[in-house]
């Protein structure tokens, strides 16, 4: 076989391979993939079911894939989230294995998750979830305060620095030293202390400090006073 014929044959093989791959990739409809995934779910083969739904596009198939991913990738968090949605009556029914309410659209996944929740120490899980939520709330408030009200360059508080300069003898001589803060998370109020240097009325450079309370949400200084 000469080189030209070999190239032609190779080209034909490539075309056949591409067509075969396309046929294989499009071999199942979304409905068929969902049906195959359901059969795997019944056997608790959740990871395999996720793979079966990798390329689905129909809304129902995508919803099932999302639910599966939650159960596979974050099983405990998913169970806790559903538990926190339950009323006391639903929790009791879950413990007694009589809860028929659907928290997930797939009945087999729903049954599996309810079985896991039935084995939970509910008071302990709720307390842990409460502490986690509270810590996440505090972290978010702290992050918001730092991002919105503190300079990323030197950590100074923008509103307090402006207040200090407006009340100095020589604003141009202002030199930031450090800023520290504490947060009242229940009130959403930060107490901010800024140490700085600047010229006094006699032209000498002196160290000073100012303390203020600030509304984290609005950024408004609620009160401020000089500290010697």
CA 34 to chain centre: 29
In percent, the amount of the chain with pLDDT more than 90 equals 82
User: For 41-83, how does the pLDDT look when each residue is reduced to its tens digit (9 = 90+)?
Assistant: 999 999 999 999 999 999 999 999 999 999 999 999 999 999 9
Of 200, 192, 196, nearest in space to 222 by CA: 192
For the chain, the average pLDDT equals 90
Torsion on CA atoms 80, 86, 87, 90, rounded to nearest 10? -110
Whole-number Cα distances in Å, 40 to 54, 62, 187? 14, 16, 51
pTM over 0.75: no
Q: Which residues pair with 197 in a beta bridge?
A: 175, 207
Residue that has been written with the tokens 């700085």 in this structure: 196
Q: What is the pLDDT of residues 37-51, one digit of tens each?
A: 999 999 999 999 999
Sign of torsion over alpha carbons 39, 40, 43, 44: negative
Per-residue pLDDT at 23 exceeds 90: no
- Quick one: average pLDDT of 112-121? 96
Task: Tell whether the model's pLDDT for residue 8 goes beyond 80.
Answer: no
- On the 0-12 / 13-18 / 19+ scale of CB atoms within 10 A, 190 is buried
Query: Mean of the pLDDT values across residues 95-117?
Result: 95
pLDDT for the residue 27: 67
- Residue 216 three-state SS: coil
| Rounded average pLDDT over 198-207 | 90
Question: Using CB atoms within 10 A of its CB, is residue 153 exposed (0-12), middle (13-18) or buried (19+)?
Answer: exposed
pLDDT at 16: 66
- Determine the 3-state secondary structure of 222 from DSSP: strand
Q: What is the pLDDT of residue 202?
A: 86
pLDDT score recorded for residue 201: 83
Report residue 28's pLDDT band, with 50, 70 and 90 as the boundaries. Answer: confident
H or E segment to which residue 53 belongs: none
**What are the residues whose beta carbons fall under 8 Å from the beta carbon of 56, sequence distance 6 or more?**
30, 33, 34, 62, 65
Distance CA 12, CA 27 (A): 22
Residue 12 has pLDDT above 70, yes or no: no
Q: What is the mean pLDDT of residues 132-142?
A: 96
Which ranges constitute the DSSP H helices of 43-188? 46-52, 59-73, 75-85, 88-95, 107-118, 122-149, 158-166
Calculate mean pLDDT across residues 164-179. Answer: 95
Q: Is the pLDDT of residue 151 over 70?
A: yes
Q: How far apart are CA 210 and CA 197, in angstroms?
A: 11
Confidence of residue 25 (pLDDT cuts 50, 70, 90): very low
């Amino acid at each position: 076989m000469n080189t030209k014929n070999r190239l032609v044959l190779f080209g034909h093989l490539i075309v056949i391979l591409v067509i075969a791959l396309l046929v294989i990739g499009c071999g199942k409809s979304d409905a068929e993939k969902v049906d195959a995934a359901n059969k795997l779910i019944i056997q608790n083969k959740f990871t395999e079911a996720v793979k079966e739904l990798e390329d689905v596009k129909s809304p129902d198939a995508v919803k099932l894939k999302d639910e599966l991913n939650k159960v596979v990738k974050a099983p405990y968090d998913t169970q806790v989230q559903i538990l926190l949605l339950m009323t006391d009556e639903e929790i009791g029914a879950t413990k007694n294995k009589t809860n028929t309410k659907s928290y997930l659209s797939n009945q087999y996944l729903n049954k599996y998750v309810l079985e896991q929740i039935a084995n939970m120490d509910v008071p302990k899980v709720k307390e842990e979830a409460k502490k986690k939520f509270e810590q996440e709330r505090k972290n978010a408030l702290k992050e918001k305060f730092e991002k919105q009200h503190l300079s990323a360059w030197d950590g100074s508080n923008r509103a307090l620095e402006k207040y200090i300069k407006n009340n100095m003898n020589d604003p141009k001589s202002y030199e930031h030293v450090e800023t520290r803060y504490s947060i009242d998370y229940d009130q959403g109020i930060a107490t901010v202390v800024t140490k700085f240097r600047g010229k006094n009325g006699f032209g000498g450079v002196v160290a000073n400090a100012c303390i203020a309370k600030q509304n984290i949400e609005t950024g408004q200084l609620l009160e401020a006073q000089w500290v010697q």
